[in-house]
A and B are shown apart, each in its own frame.
Chain A
Amino acid sequence: MENSQTQQVSRRAKILDVLGNWIGVIPFFIFIIVFLILPSMNLFIGAFRDLNGNFTFDNIIGLKDPAILKAYSVSLQVSVITSLVGSVFGFFVAYAITIGKAPKWMRNILMTFSGLAANFGGVPLAFAFIATIGRTGLITAILKNICFSNAAGVQSCPLDIYDNGFTLYGVLGLTLAYTYFEFPLMVLIITPALEGLKRDWREASDNLGASSWQYWRYVAFPVLWPSILGAGLLLFGSAFGAYATAQALTGGSIYLVTILIGQQIRGDVLGNPNLGYALALGMVVIMSITITGYTILQRRTARWLKS
C-alpha cells in the first residue's frame, strides 16, 4: 500500500521532471503548429477533399488537366535549364577562384559578390534585367546601334536582338535573370569542395603519368560529383519555387506552376478550389524530393571534406 503510494509520487515527480525539461521549447512548438503545421495540413487535407468535404482522389487525378501539366512542364523546363547553366557556370567560376589561380583581387570580389548575389532576387532582379536587356535597355541599345552599310548604301543593323526573336519576357529571359542568383549559389557551395581537393592527389596522378583530363576524369570528378549534384539540386529547388522575379519580369504571362497558384489564390482560375490544393501539394512533393536529395549528398560530401 505504502509502496504503491511512493511509486505514484515518484511517477508524478518524473512526469513533472519531463514537463520541466520540455517547458522551454513549448513556445517554439506552439508557434510552429500555428504558423507552419496548421496551414500545411490544411493544404494537404484540402488536396484530398471534394467541395462537400468528402474524401476523394479526384483532385490528384485532376492534375492530369492539360493546363496544369503544361504549367508543370514549363516550370520544370525553366528550373532544369537554369540549374544546369548555373551549376556549370558556377563550377567554372569556383574553379577560377580555387585551382584556376585568378588574381587575388578578382578572387576576393568574386567571393564577396557571390555571397551578395546569391541572396538577390525578387522584383529588383527583374528590374535590373529590364533596364539592361529589356526592349529599351542599355545593352539592347548598344547592340542596336551597331550598323553596317552595304555597297548599295542600305543600312543593316544585324545585332538588334529583339528583331532576331530574342525576348527578355519569356523562358530565355527568365533563365538569364535566375542565373544571376543561381551561379553565385553554386560558387558558395562548391568552392569548399574544390578547396578540399588535396594537392597530393594531383601530384600522385601526375607522377603516375596521368594527363590533366585523366586526373579530372578518374580522381577529381568522382570525389566531387556528390557535391556538384547536390548543389545542382539546390539550384533546381530555388528556381522551381521562385515567383516574384517571374511575375515582375513577365507580368504573369509565363505559364509557371507558381504563377498559376498565384492566380488561383486571387480568383479560382481552375474552376475548382480544391484543385489548387493539389497543385500546391505537387510542388511540395517535388521540392521535398529535391531537398532530401541535396541533404543526403551534402552528408556524403561532409564526410570526405572533414577527413
Chain B
Amino acid sequence: MKTPRFNFWGLFWGTLALLYFFVPMYGTLDFSLRMQKGIISLRAYQIVLADPNFVESFLYSATMGIITVIISILIFLPTTYWIYLKLPKLRPVVEIITILPFIIPVIVYVFGLIRTFGRPPFRLTLTATGTDFLMIGGYVVLSMPYMFRAIDVGMRSIDVRTLTEASQSLGGNWFQTLVNVILPNLRIALLSGALITFATVIGELILADFLFRPALGPYMTSIGTTKAFEPAALTIMSFALTWVCLGLIQLVSRGDTSQQLTGR
C-alpha cells in the first residue's frame, strides 16, 4: 500500500485556515498604513499615539487591569489553597461557580450589576469611585474562569499538604507558608492567570461602555464610528498587545492551551 508523504486534503484545509488567519491581519495592516494617499506611512499610528484620549484611556484600562489582577490573586490564591488543604470536597462546587461567567453573557451581567448597584441602597454608579469599584468587581468576575483554572492547575501539580506540613514543622504559620512556600511554586500558574486577566480587562468593552468609564474599549468604539484609518492602526496595536500577553502564556506553559476556553 502506498503512503503519500503529504495528504492532499490535510494540506488543503491547513492552507485555507492559514488564509483565514492571515488575510484579515494583512488587510488591517495594509489599511492602517495607507492614511497618506499613495505612500505607505505610519501616520495613523502617530495620530493615535498622540491623541490624549488614547493615552488617557489606555492608562485607565491598564490601571484597572493591574488592580483587577491583584484583587483576583488575593481572592483566588488563598481560597484555592484552603480548598486543597482543608476542603477538597468543595472544589467541584467552586469550579462550577467560577464557570458561571461563561453561562451568563456579559451584557446580561452588566444589566444585573447596573440594576442592583445603581439603585438605592447602593447607588454606586453616582460617583466615579463607586463605578470604578463596581467595574473592578465585574472584571474579577469576568476573568474568574481563567484565574481559577490557572491557579487550580498549578496547585494540582504540587503536593500542597506535604509542603504545608513541612513548613509548619519548621515553625511557619499559615500566612508564611502561603507566601514563602506555595507562592514560589505557583509562579508560572499565577503569571499566566495574571496575563490573561490583564488581556481580558484591556480588551473589554461592555462593562466600561455601559458604566460610562473612559476605558480603551469605549474609546475604540467611538473612534470606529468617526475615523477610517485610526481604527485599523488601533486594531494592529491591540493585536500586538493581546498576542504578546497570550504568547507569553503559551511560552511559560509550554503550549498547554487548557486555560483558554473562549474568546470575544
Q: Which of A5-13, A53-61, A103-111, A145-153 contacts B (4 or more CB under 8 A)?
A: A103-111
The answer to whether B257 touches A117 (Cβ under 8 A) is: no
The answer to whether A258 touches B138 (Cβ under 8 A) is: no
Inter-chain contacts of B5 with A (CB < 8 A): 101
- For residue A169, CB closer than 8 A to chain B, the reply is no
- For residue A38, CB closer than 8 A to chain B, the reply is yes
A116 to chain B, nearest CB (A): 5
List 12 additional contacts besides A115-B246, A291-B103; criterion CB under 8 Å. A28-B79, A112-B250, A116-B247, A118-B263, A121-B263, A127-B28, A127-B224, A131-B24, A238-B264, A243-B106, A261-B111, A284-B103
Provide 5 A-B residue pairs closer than 8 Å at the C-beta atoms, listed in order of the A residue: A25-B83, A42-B112, A96-B13, A131-B232, A276-B111
A212 to chain B, nearest CB (A): 11
Residue of A122, A132, A280 near B112 (CB, 8 A) is A280
Inter-chain contacts of B260 with A (CB < 8 A): 115, 118-119, 188
Q: Which of B158-166, B179-187, B233-241 contacts A (4 or more CB under 8 A)?
A: B233-241
Q: Mark A64-79, 1 if CB is under 8 A from B, else 0.
A: 0000000000000000
- For residue A102, CB closer than 8 A to chain B, the reply is yes
User: Given A35-B140, A38-B116, is A287 in contact with B107 using a C-beta cutoff of 8 Å?
Assistant: no
By beta carbon, the residue of chain B nearest A100 is B10
Inter-chain contacts of B86 with A (CB < 8 A): 21, 24
B44 to chain A, nearest CB (A): 11
Which of B14, B23, B234, B242 is most buried by chain A, counting CB atoms within 10 A of its CB? B14
Q: Mark A239-259, 1 if CB is under 8 A from B, else 0.
A: 011111101100100000010
A238–B24 CA distance with the chains assembled, in angstroms: 21
The answer to whether B224 touches A185 (Cβ under 8 A) is: no
By beta carbon, the residue of chain A nearest B257 is A115
The answer to whether B107 touches A261 (Cβ under 8 A) is: yes
Inter-chain contacts of B257 with A (CB < 8 A): 111, 114-115, 188
**Interface residues of B, Cβ cutoff 8 Å to A:** 5-7, 9-18, 20-21, 23-28, 30-32, 75-76, 78-79, 81-83, 85-87, 90, 94, 97, 99-100, 102-117, 137-138, 140-141, 196, 199, 203-206, 210, 217, 220-221, 224-225, 228, 231-232, 234-235, 238-239, 242-243, 246-247, 250, 255, 257, 260-264
The answer to whether B262 touches A25 (Cβ under 8 A) is: no
Inter-chain contacts of A277 with B (CB < 8 A): 115
Majority-rule SS of A interface residues:
helix
- Count of chain A to chain B residue pairs whose CB atoms are closer than 8 Å in the complex: 273
The answer to whether A129 touches B24 (Cβ under 8 A) is: yes
Tally chain A residues at the interface, Cβ within 8 Å: 92
The answer to whether B220 touches A124 (Cβ under 8 A) is: yes
Inter-chain contacts of B250 with A (CB < 8 A): 112, 115
The answer to whether A43 touches B108 (Cβ under 8 A) is: yes
By beta carbon, the residue of chain A nearest B241 is A124
By beta carbon, the residue of chain A nearest B3 is A101
- For residue A230, CB closer than 8 A to chain B, the reply is no
The answer to whether A28 touches B262 (Cβ under 8 A) is: no
User: Given A25-B79, A242-B264, is A133 in contact with B199 using a C-beta cutoff of 8 Å?
Assistant: no
Which of A21, A39, A131, A132 is most buried by chain B, counting CB atoms within 10 A of its CB? A131
A248–B112 CA distance with the chains assembled, in angstroms: 23
